Amino acid sequence: MAKDPNPPEGWWYNTRTGEVEHGTVGKAIDRLGPYPDRETAARALQIARERTEAADRADRAWRGDDED
């Protein structure tokens, strides 16, 4: 992709390449973010996993089958 002369604010994690991006970004479908800084973007998969686990717990609690 071409380098954007006006990059959007934030940092992204590219799920296809496994790299953190800022300014030169891949396709939107391949990105997680934006994140406030490089370090947070590098943890994108961990953050997504934690959010999914929390949502799963909330779903179980809502259904009344919470076993945590």
Q: What's the pLDDT at 9?
A: 75
- Tell me if 25 is assigned to some domain: yes
Q: What's the pLDDT at 67?
A: 61
Query: Among all chains, which residue has been given the structure tokens 């994108």?
Result: 44
Give all strands (DSSP E) within 1-68, no chain letters: 11-14, 19-21, 31-35
Distances (CA, A) of 3 to 6, 27, 29, 37: 9, 13, 18, 19
- Tell me if 1 is assigned to some domain: no
Amino acid, res. 10: G
Question: In the sheet that 11-14 helps form, which strands lie side by side, from edge to edge?
Answer: 19-21, 11-14, 31-35
- Tell me if 5 is assigned to some domain: no
- Tell me if 66 is assigned to some domain: no
Per-residue pLDDT for the chain (68 aa), expressed as one digit of tens each?
Answer: 566 566 567 899 999 999 999 976 789 899 999 999 999 999 999 999 999 999 999 999 999 985 65
- Tell me if 38 is assigned to some domain: yes
Domain count, the chain: 1
Q: What is the Rg, in whole angstroms, of the alpha carbon atoms belonging to the chain?
A: 16
Q: What's the pLDDT at 12?
A: 94
